[in-house]
Amino acid sequence: MKVAVAKETFPGERRVALVPAAIAPLKKACGELPGGIEILVESGAGASAGFSDAAYREAGAEIVSRDAVFAADCVLAIRTAGACGDSWCADRDRIRPGLVIIGLCDPLSTPDACREAAEKGATLFSLELVPRITRAQSMDVLSSQANIAGYRAVLVAATALPRILPMMTTAAGTVTPAKALILGAGVAGLQAIATAKRLGAQVSAYDVRPAVKEQVQSLGAKFVELPLETGTSEAAGGYAKAMGEDFYAKQRELLGKVVADSDIVICTALIPGQKAPVLVTREMVARMRPGSVIVDMAAERGGNCEGSAPDDTVILDGVTILGPTNLAAEVPFHTSQLFAKNVATFLGHLAKCGFPDVSADDEIYRDTLVAKGGQLVHPKVRERAGLPPLEASPA
């Protein structure tokens, strides 16, 4: 089987789906496939992340053209289908029946692109849909990438803030520590807390899920508790669940004072496949001290902060609001390394299950398979695409 690594074409995307060090483990993991696998890498695919074509050759890969990548049996990518934006159009025309594509697809927000892949006859796996179960943790690309993004968000905020984060006592006087508030204590939020603490900030965090209080406190941060009914705030897999507008209105009212007293606010709250909840209103921004900084990691999904704009800097009432949409790509060496481990483990798992003829009884295969046999097969993606449920999903 020929497994090919595509060069990313999405603007600003500097990561690569497979790094040279992951090639040997991937070949070993796929050893159960008849004849094993052959790795092809598009020329220049790893250059932006710090991995040369020569490094891939030394690791046992063949450097090829983009046409040769899509002539392979399986294509690995960071972004494909809807996650690839307008760049998807050129790749869509290269798809042929039977091609397997593995990568981030954004299937719940852009199901039409996945439907196009299905109509071309591709077998499409979306890594956003890896189930949050113990045996799939090493395949969880959302967690591995969000971890680094949370770290990066704090550095971005610290750079924009016109003051330092740690307390300093000097002959010229004492500098008080900056106050950082992290909204959302998922993977990105917890790493943001840890990074802000390491930089010396006074850190508080809020999450709608009371179960994360212990995790927040274990990192040395103060957990902000609001008198709200949150018993149904956590969905399956540990993700936050969308709440009603009355809940969010009350939440914003109670958070206002905490936000106003913060020098840095990092917004990380996302609901998979849905518009991000608004946690910080313009009125709350107006109450913050001039020079304060908000980093809205949810800007691409509508934003947790009113007034934020994707990949733009907005100044409101003296407060700087940043809306980065791809923080993981700003640290491409290590995020590529982590992604490669995730995708190699995922493909190795499929190989052990008899890939490409995997039984739909396998939860990991079933939950990540979006398209096969000329149609969308994932129930949630079909629903988003306005299609009726399948009578029986293909094995």
Q: What pLDDT, on the 0 to 100 scale, is given for residue 395?
A: 46
Q: What pLDDT, on the 0 to 100 scale, is given for residue 357?
A: 72
Instruction: Give pTM, 2 decimals.
Output: 0.91
Q: Among the options 91, 106, 140, 207, which is catalytic?
A: 140
Domain co-membership, 216 together with 269:
yes
Is 391 within a domain? no
What's the total number of domains in the chain? 2
Question: Which of 18-32, 54-68, 321-335 is the least confident region?
Answer: 18-32
Residue range 296-310, pLDDT digits in tens:
999 999 999 999 999
Decide if 140 is catalytic: yes
Is 394 within a domain? no
List the CATH number of the domain containing 212.
3.40.50.720
Q: Among the options 43, 94, 239, 317, which is catalytic?
A: 239
- pLDDT confidence band for 237 (50 / 70 / 90): low
Coil vs helix vs strand at 295 = strand
Q: What pLDDT, on the 0 to 100 scale, is given for residue 195?
A: 98
Cβ neighbours of residue 93 under 8 Å, at least 6 residues apart?
none
Q: Among the options 52, 137, 217, 359, which is catalytic?
A: 137
Q: Among the options 73, 87, 109, 132, which is catalytic?
A: 132
Q: What pLDDT, on the 0 to 100 scale, is given for residue 254?
A: 80
Is 297 within a domain? yes
Domain co-membership, 198 together with 315:
yes
Domain co-membership, 186 together with 254:
yes
Q: Among the options 143, 233, 375, 393, which is catalytic?
A: 143
Where does a domain end: 304, 325, 346?
Answer: 325
Distances (CA, A) of 262 to 201, 298, 355: 11, 19, 51
Domain co-membership, 272 together with 370:
no
* Residue corresponding to tokens 């968000």: 153
Residue range 77-120, pLDDT digits in tens:
999 999 999 999 999 999 999 999 999 999 999 999 999 999 99
Is 364 within a domain? yes
Decide if 204 is catalytic: no
Residue range 171-230, pLDDT digits in tens:
999 999 999 999 999 999 999 999 999 999 999 999 988 889 999 999 999 999 887 665
Considering the chain, what is the average pLDDT of its residues? 92
Domain co-membership, 233 together with 175:
yes
Asked if the model's pLDDT at residue 273 lies above 90, the reply is no
Range of the domain at 297: 149-325
Please state whether 121 falls in left (phi above 0), alpha (psi between -120 and 50) or beta: left
Cβ neighbours of residue 240 under 8 Å, at least 6 residues apart?
184, 186, 207, 208, 209, 233, 234, 269, 270, 271
Is 336 within a domain? yes
Is 389 within a domain? no
Q: What pLDDT, on the 0 to 100 scale, is given for residue 34?
A: 82
Decide if 301 is catalytic: no
- Do residues 339 and 141 touch, judged by C-beta distance below 8 A? yes
Asked if the model's pLDDT at residue 233 lies above 60, the reply is no
Decide if 143 is catalytic: yes
Q: Which of 243, 264, 269 is nearest to 186 (CA)?
A: 269
Decide if 145 is catalytic: no
